[in-house]
Chains A and B, each alone.
Chain A
Amino acid sequence: AQKITQTQPGMFVQEKEAVTLDCTYDTSDPSYGLFWYKQPSSGEMIFLIYQGSYDQQNATEGRYSLNFQKARKSANLVISASQLGDSAMYFCAIPALSSGSARQLTFGSGTQLTVLP
């Protein structure tokens, strides 16, 4: 079986501060990648960042970075210098078991982030 767990249903952060969103996963696939998507209230899913399981360094995309710890099976998203526009749902996702394809993703239940002014 394959599972993605996001244990924080809701998080609050002050504007300009950093925040960490947690994600743990369980998969028997030997090679996989971890994705984070953002979903504003408009509904559209926006790709943020990706890291492959064999990548040596943690991925970084602008204000987003992945704290990837394979031994603990966790891939936390760190958002630095939070902005009001960062308020949204955030989802962690992994390719479906045996699909090897990022076009068949298994998503977590999400974390609702609210940035306070």
Chain B
Amino acid sequence: DAGVTQSPTHLIKTRGQHVTLRCSPISGHKSVSWYQQVLGQGPQFIFQYYEKEERGRGNFPDRFSARQFPNYSSELNVNALLLGDSALYLCASSRPGTSGGLYEQYFGPGTRLTVT
């Protein structure tokens, strides 16, 4: 079975631009979470979606938004890019169950965003 896939792999944008990152979860997984990992730090939680509804949001500005589609894939959008948005953006999915629960997540390879 295919794992979590993310596109694009790498991306270079200019300050002030907008970016859309995409994630396809493992088949059958209904929950998708997004994380930002700045170089040298651990990942920081941005959003979680379950059954197309937002179930959690981390401490990120409104420039960050996301959505989940009927096929459970997800997009992360970032507006008005800042240099500090340069990071590895990780998507994770987890197996079916309630929206909570202590299930391990399966991560994708990430999208490395560079803002110049």
Contacts and interface: CB of A to CB of B under 8 A. Distances in A.
Interface of A: 4, 33, 35, 37, 42-47, 50, 52, 91, 93, 95-96, 99-110
Contacts of A47: 104-106
B24 interface: no
Interface stretch (B14-22, B67-75, B77-85, B95-103): B95-103
Contacts of B45: 96, 104-106
A37 B99 CA distance: 21
Contacts of A103: 31, 33, 48, 50, 55-56, 92, 94, 99-100, 103, 105
B114 to A, nearest CB: 14
A96 B44 CA distance: 10
Interface size class of B (residues with CB under 8 A): 20 to 34
Contacts of A50: 102, 104
A52 B110 contact: no
Given A43-B110, A44-B108, A101 B100 contact: yes
A102 B106 CA distance: 11
A43 B104 contact: no
Contacts of A107: 35, 42-44
Given A91-B43, A104-B48, A108-B42, A43 B109 contact: yes
